[in-house]
């Protein structure tokens, strides 16, 4: 009996140690508390608001009485998410509007922006939607999927909505990146990875592109009353890893690890929420945040030359003219 308990404790301890190495402990997350009417009268677009971090941010903004535009590619899933967040947002909630947006189609992005231009104003745009390590596929317009969805689709939306955002100033743009940017670089010679596809590299490349986009945009927005900041949410328990195969036997272990070591979607939503609402970041622009604090970036994410080059290339790719 004692031996069995000892062996179980040793094995359990060993597993916990391995999991701790694989998923380093994240800083404890303090949930933000804002006045209930903090976002009353504000219109906020959240891309990918039907799932994970986006859904949690949309839910929190709804509680703060914002008009939340959920920009989603799967309308059925968006309806279900909207029902869920409304149910939890209490009696004095804001308003939810669902709009179709497929970031893997420039046509869809353009149609979405045409519809949005009927809004009298947009106060905050949260570029949250993302795809991670999918098999090699191309968007409708022939871009490698991760670059196309994570960077180029959002690049086009932001540019098409800039006039409305500026006219509604003060405004904010929030860009959800990832710490995995560290493992990428922008491969200008083969942006669509036609010669060689490494799914992990392409995700990192797209998330570095998010940061370079934020840097260049912040300079272009100087004096406009609109700010743009990026964030890295940490490791969050969402459906992002859906394309990553986990061996059948490792699934329970992974499930356990994600429960113990990953942030919940609500915890993961705190930094985007902070950047969307907090008075502490009034006028702050071109920065990256983690756990609601400014984060220091590697030189490759603060490279002005690369940011400008990426901007010009992206403009050509999505067919934007001045």
Give the catalytic positions in this structure.
Answer: 203
β strands within 20-132, DSSP E: 43-47, 67-72, 95-100, 124-127
Separation between Cα atoms, residue 292 and residue 304, nearest integer Å: 24
**Backbone angles phi and psi of 321, in degrees to 5:** -115, 160
Smallest gap from residue 4 Cβ to ligand NAP (A): 37
Taking contact as CB under 6 A, which single stretch among the options 1-9, 47-55, 115-123, 300-308 is the one that binds ligand NAP? 47-55
Closest CB to ligand NAP belongs to which residue? 52
How far is Cα 51 from Cα 240, in angstroms, rounded to an integer?
A: 9
Residues 81 to 100: which contact ligand NAP by CB under 6 A? none
Helix (H, G, I), strand (E, B) or coil at 70: strand
Q: Which residue has the tokens 């941010």?
A: 57
Stretch that binds ligand NAP, among 34-42, 62-70, 217-225, 228-236 (CB under 6 A): 228-236
Q: Does 147 bind ligand NAP (CB under 6 A)?
A: no
Q: Is 235 in the site for ligand NAP (CB under 6 A)?
A: yes
**Stretches 31-39, 238-246, 304-312, 313-321: which one binds ligand NAP (CB under 6 A)?**
238-246
Residue 125 CB, nearest approach to ligand NAP (Å): 14
- The least distance separating ligand NAP from the CB of residue 91, rounded to whole angstroms, comes to 27
| Cα–Cα distances in angstroms (integers) from residue 169 to residues 18, 30, 163, 198, in the given order | 49, 29, 10, 40
- Alpha carbons 254 and 199: distance in angstroms, whole number: 21
Q: Which is nearer to ligand NAP, 60 or 102 (CB)?
A: 102
Q: Interface with ligand NAP includes 54 (CB under 6 A)? A: yes
Find the shortest distance in angstroms from Cβ 65 to ligand NAP: 23
Give the number of residues in contact with ligand NAP, rule: CB under 6 A: 28
Site string for ligand NAP, 170-199 (x = CB under 6 A): ------x-x---------------------
Cβ-based nearer residue to ligand NAP, 168 or 274? 274
Sign of CA dihedral 65, 76, 202, 311: negative
**Which listed residue (94, 130, 184, 286) binds ligand NAP by CB under 6 A?**
130
Stretch that binds ligand NAP, among 7-15, 50-58, 88-96, 297-305 (CB under 6 A): 50-58
Query: Coil, helix or strand for 113?
Result: helix
Task: Tokens for 124, please give them.
Answer: 């905050």
Helix (H, G, I), strand (E, B) or coil at 302: coil
Buried b (16+ CB within 10 A) or exposed e, 30-69: eebeeeeebbeebbbbbbbbbbbbbbbbbbbbbbbbbbbb
Instruction: Pick the closer one to ligand NAP by CB: 29 or 167.
Output: 29
How far is it, in rounded angstroms, from Cα 80 to Cα 218?
35
What does DSSP say about strands 293-294 and 288-290: parallel, antiparallel, or unpaired? antiparallel
Residues in touch with ligand NAP (CB under 6 A)? 48, 50-54, 72-74, 77, 101-104, 128-132, 149, 176, 178, 233, 235-236, 238-240
């Amino acid at each position: 009996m004692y031996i069995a308990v000892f062996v179980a404790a040793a094995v359990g301890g060993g597993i916990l140690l391995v999991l701790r190495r694989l998923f380093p402990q994240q800083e404890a997350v303090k949930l933000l508390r804002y006045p209930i009417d903090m976002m009353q009268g504000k219109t906020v677009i959240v891309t990918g608001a039907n799932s994970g971090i986006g859904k949690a941010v949309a839910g929190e903004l709804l509680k703060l009485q914002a008009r939340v535009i959920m920009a989603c590619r799967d309308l059925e899933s968006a309806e279900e998410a909207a029902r869920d967040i409304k149910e939890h947002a209490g009696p004095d909630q804001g308003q939810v509007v669902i709009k179709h947006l497929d970031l893997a189609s420039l046509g869809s992005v353009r149609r979405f922006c045409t519809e949005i231009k009927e809004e009298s104003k947009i106060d905050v745009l949260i570029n949250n939607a993302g795809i991670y390590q999918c098999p090699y596929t191309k968007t409708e317009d022939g871009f490698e999927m991760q670059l196309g969805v994570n960077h180029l689709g959002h690049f086009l939306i932001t540019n098409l909505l800039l006039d409305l955002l500026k006219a509604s100033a003060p405004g904010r743009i929030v860009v959800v990146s990832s710490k995995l940017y560290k493992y990428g670089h922008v491969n200008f010679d083969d942006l669509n990875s036609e010669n060689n596809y490494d799914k992990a590299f392409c995700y990192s490349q797209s998330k570095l592109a998010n940061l370079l986009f934020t840097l260049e945009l912040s300079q272009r927005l100087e004096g406009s009353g609109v700010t743009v900041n990026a964030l890295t949410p940490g490791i969050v328990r969402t459906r992002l890893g859906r394309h990553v195969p986990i061996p059948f036997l490792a699934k329970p272990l992974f499930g356990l690890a994600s429960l113990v070591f990953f942030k919940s979607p609500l915890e993961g939503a705190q930094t985007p929420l902070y950047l969307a609402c907090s008075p502490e970041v009034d006028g702050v622009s071109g920065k990256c945040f983690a756990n609601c604090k400014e984060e220091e970036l590697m030189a490759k994410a603060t490279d002005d030359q690369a940011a400008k080059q990426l901007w010009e290339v992206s403009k050509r790719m999505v067919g934007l003219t001045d």
